[in-house]
Amino acid sequence: MSGTTPAGRCLMAIGLATPFFIVYLGLHHYALMSDAIRPGLRPAVLWVLQGGLALGTLVLLASTAWLWPRRHRSEPVPHVEVMAALSIGLGYVAIAVCAGAFMAGPTQVLMGVLTIGLMLLQRRTMLIAFGVCAPVFALFDVLMVVDVLPYAPAITARAFDAGEPVWWWSLWRHMVFHVGWIVIAFLIFMLFGRLDTVHAELNRLSATDALTGLANRRAFMERLNAEVRRQGRTQRPLSLVLVDADHFKRVNDQHGHPVGDEVLAMLGRLLSLGVRTPVDMAARLGGEEFALLLPDTTLDEAEAVCWRVQQRLAGERLTAPSGEALRITVSMGVVEGLGQVPEHLLRQADHNLYRAKDAGRNRAIYSVLGPTLAEASA
């Protein structure tokens, strides 16, 4: 649901409401034509209700025809939304009022209609529909209290026998009662499904860097801590690579931030191509700083990963808006650890990264953390 368009959500609301209008039209017509049921009805009121429901159904069908070609577009459809919301809202208010506004079944259906609107339509649309439908409902209540209108304008006393509803009226009330529960239950399941989708998307966004699509610092630190704990059980080496784009500030200053963003996105793509998915993790820690987490990886294997990244980077061709070709290089600090805490690994990788920059950039500095510290540079 979170990914649907405004037109798509409006179509869903129409699709949920229109079948009920059609069912009501059919049941009411059958009742008006039945010699056994008609004496318990006020035909004039029911025919007016039928006309209103038919008009509302035509509006919904016309709205569907207009919305369908636009269902994949992202632009809002406020006027059609309002028209559809008013048709649905007023239709169900009319049904509830004619059958007895505070009877359990119609009230449940009205709750379902409100839930449909709140889930699928814009807040402004729902405020307009509520602002129109609520006064209608309130006016009927006032007129009923002062005995201007009966409690259920569409039926007569002949719908009851010794105070109990006759078979057709009892059947209708039970049907509406169960329809109301079905609507509410369906919407509850839909609501939970939508919440699950939203939560999944929020979790993804909270762990993802928007520009590069890589894991962000928070997700990287959680995974690093988890891998260090797992390493304590497996006693397998773990390698960590910190990557920093060389002279990135110069790129931003000379060519602008859009070009800088393009460089970062390109680096993110190359780093994700250079690792084993989903075993390894590529992350953007912030700014032009990236990281690779390589579980069960020795220093020699990490060196091969760094070499592949540098080879792919050397083959990239970026051109600034001025036409100038950009040559992007990276410096890397690499550490293999076994039994160290995450902070120690990060500190040593960061130390190696700065050594690589001090040594002229476009290179990697490697070290192994163990009982003794052995260092080598490349």
Q: How far is CA 235 from its chain centroid?
A: 41
What residue has token string 């009742």? Answer: 31
SS3 349: helix
- Among 166, 148, 131, residue whose Cα is nearest residue 34: 166
Which pair of structure tokens corresponds to residue 124? 């402004």
Max Cα separation, the chain?
A: 100
Cα(260)–Cα(70) distance, rounded to whole angstroms? 36
What angle in degrees, to the nearest 10, is found between the helix axes of 43-67 and 6-33? Answer: 150
* Rounded (to 5) percent helix, strand, coil in the chain: 65, 15, 25
Per annotation, catalytic residue among 81, 288, 303, 336: 288
What residue has token string 């359990």? Answer: 104
What angle in degrees, to the nearest 10, is found between the helix axes of 78-99 and 167-206? Answer: 150
Active site residue 303: no
Cα(345)–Cα(330) distance, rounded to whole angstroms? 20
Catalytic residues, by residue number, are 288
